Structure 1
């Protein structure tokens, strides 16, 4: 593994002239490490042709879920083609006909969200996502796509809406699904979601219990759709490594009253092209789960941020691209963010 002198990343995207976006590529494979890494490396180029303005920042694989999240960041002009190459590699290696895992999924490549990091807006990310979807169904026979967010024109339906419509949480009958692009989903490829939105964080908190009903109760209490829930937090509870994990997707929201913006406060904020996005902080989510668990007589084991906060992702992307580090995931432990 490569090493890197521990350093504070502090770049100015305007000074560097970078227009960056990120894709948190969700694939339905985690138990074969070499397969996951081959998919990540495909985004960086093959046959000696490398993409200097693209980097794989992180790979997170979960054995129980049998799901990996690969964070690919780069120039908005390069990112779509690089993510397409990773998707093609994934479809060659992952067969939904035999895939098993706790986490809900519909496709071998399950989710392809494009997020703006700096110098680009979410609308431009939506255009990249739509072109990616169109190219994917041409390149991979049997693949099919549903669109969400800024790629789903003109309705711009959210990922949550689309997943509910498609029965993402329970469906296994691929032949009954109706894609936006491509043919009726086949058993091997399944159905892939492609879209764009402001950055979405993934934050999981494990409670020291095997009681799934109790985990669902805690998840319901913090869900953003509930009156007293946490804004922008989509949440599910899963059995995980002999315990229960509270798995959260943390979406941005608009709130003029947000003033606290640190990791240790209730909120963090992020700005790109003059737009400002607020999020419930991972620290605060963990604190709320811990309190709810304690009220029920149990403790928590820890928190996992699957990748980065949006600011961390931007900082790492700028650094990796400036230093031409394509396989950044191998050295990120030596870098302060």
Structure 2
């Protein structure tokens, strides 16, 4: 049974709140950092998005969620803000992360290329992914200036040359290679210095919203898990899937990306399979996490393997928007502290 790491907070869409958000682009960054074992460090990075070193508060910003995994040694910090402010808040969090995390000392099951591994910017309301791409470019440039020695690759709408997706760019850099630790110093950066062992190579980009859904298999057979992940990748639009050993079992870790109809020529909106939402008059679709869980369960059953649960990491696009509006309108910067569960 799919359960969400987000809490249901009811309906907040009052006319007052809606009017305060009207005309303001609202965006989210699901900041991926290569640290999931030192809770104090992860929370220090999260708090840096809300207040600079001089104690100046970053307005219109909230950290909605922190999701950490010990085996992966990785955390996802959900930062939401207005389009005008998100760059500053994310940059502050990254500066703290670069100061605290040494990639050369990192160990974990989940692949990574950077101490700050991923800085994706996603639209929530009144802004398009293309505009988020420009925000991502500014963040990359700021970090290259403020952290001499850090390096970035660009993806999605931040990558003006190729517009390669996050998955395509990672694949070209060897991120998906099994049982092989990539020598980041041999990789080519799009922005900043040549990659170093300490900072590695950070992905900075923008796309429509990507959510994470993990399904656990009651087995230690990673080979079977990988075959299931491969079927999921090949047959579900917008879904990337990988299989990892996790806590004595196997986890199918999935990225579910929203997409516009025009981006998938053969797309047919089936009500039980996809969830639809709108931003700036554009309709976006994404595979329902419940449908995804059901597909993994069926594939596992065909191999006589049970699934033992699934978790939505953080929020769906609609939940993220509603939660961000509530937290920002009420001035709740450390919203993650109101959540009952922030780790697997």
Q: 2-side partners of 1:314 and 1:11: how far apart?
A: 14
Equivalent residues in 2 for 1:211-226 (5 A)? 211-223=221-233, 226=234
1:192-212 Cα distance to aligned partner (Å, 9 max, x none): 000000001111000100000
Q: 2-side partners of 1:97 and 1:312: how far apart?
A: 36
Pair 1:10-2:13 in alignment: yes
**C-alpha deviation, 1:52, in angstroms:** 2.4
**C-alpha deviation, 1:278, in angstroms:** 0.5
Q: 2-side partners of 1:253 and 1:132: how far apart?
A: 24
**C-alpha deviation, 1:186, in angstroms:** 0.7
**C-alpha deviation, 1:306, in angstroms:** 1.1
Q: Structure 1 stretch 103-112 or stretch 285-294: which is displaced more?
A: 285-294
Give the TM-score, by structure 2 length.
0.90
Pair 1:70-2:73 in alignment: no
**C-alpha deviation, 1:6, in angstroms:** 5.5
**C-alpha deviation, 1:172, in angstroms:** 2.4
Pair 1:267-2:274 in alignment: yes
Partner of 1:54: 61
Pair 1:178-2:188 in alignment: yes
Partner of 1:278: 285
Pair 1:166-2:169 in alignment: no
Distance of aligned partners of 1:323 and 1:230 in 2 relative to their CA distance in 1, 3 Å threshold: same
Unaligned runs of 5+ in 2: 1-6, 262-266
**C-alpha deviation, 1:221, in angstroms:** 1.3
Partner of 2:199: 189
Which of 199, 207, 217 is residue 207 of structure 1 equivalent to? Answer: 217
Q: 2-side partners of 1:287 and 1:278: how far apart?
A: 18
Pair 1:106-2:109 in alignment: no
Give the TM-score, by structure 1 length.
0.92
**C-alpha deviation, 1:141, in angstroms:** 1.6
Which of 271, 295, 299 is residue 288 of structure 1 equivalent to? Answer: 295
1:280-325 Cα distance to aligned partner (Å, 9 max, x none): 0111111111111111111111111111100000000000011000
Unaligned runs of 5+ in 1: none
CA RMSD of aligned residues (A): 1.8
Which of 133, 148, 156 is residue 155 of structure 2 equivalent to? Answer: 148
Give the secondary-structure state (helix, strand or coil) at the position aligned to 2:333.
Answer: coil
Partner of 1:26: 32
1:208-264 Cα distance to aligned partner (Å, 9 max, x none): 0000011011111111xx2xx11111000000000000000111234464252xxxx
Pair 1:258-2:264 in alignment: no
**C-alpha deviation, 1:8, in angstroms:** 3.2
**C-alpha deviation, 1:156, in angstroms:** 1.1
Q: 1-side partners of 2:14 and 2:158: how far apart?
A: 30
**C-alpha deviation, 1:121, in angstroms:** 1.1
Contact 1:19/1:120 (CA < 8 Å) preserved in 2?
yes
Partner of 1:44: 50
Give the secondary-structure state (helix, strand or coil) at the position aligned to 1:8.
Answer: coil
1:32-67 Cα distance to aligned partner (Å, 9 max, x none): 000000000000013331122000000000000000
Give the secondary-structure state (helix, strand or coil) at the position aligned to 1:172.
Answer: coil
Q: 2-side partners of 1:131 and 1:266: how far apart?
A: 36
Partner of 2:312: 305
Distance of aligned partners of 1:257 and 1:172 in 2 relative to their CA distance in 1, 3 Å threshold: closer
Give the secondary-structure state (helix, strand or coil) at the position aligned to 2:304.
Answer: coil
Distance of aligned partners of 1:193 and 1:36 in 2 relative to their CA distance in 1, 3 Å threshold: same
Q: 2-side partners of 1:5 and 1:257: how far apart?
A: 30
Pair 1:131-2:138 in alignment: yes
1:121-162 Cα distance to aligned partner (Å, 9 max, x none): 111111110000000011112100000011000321111111
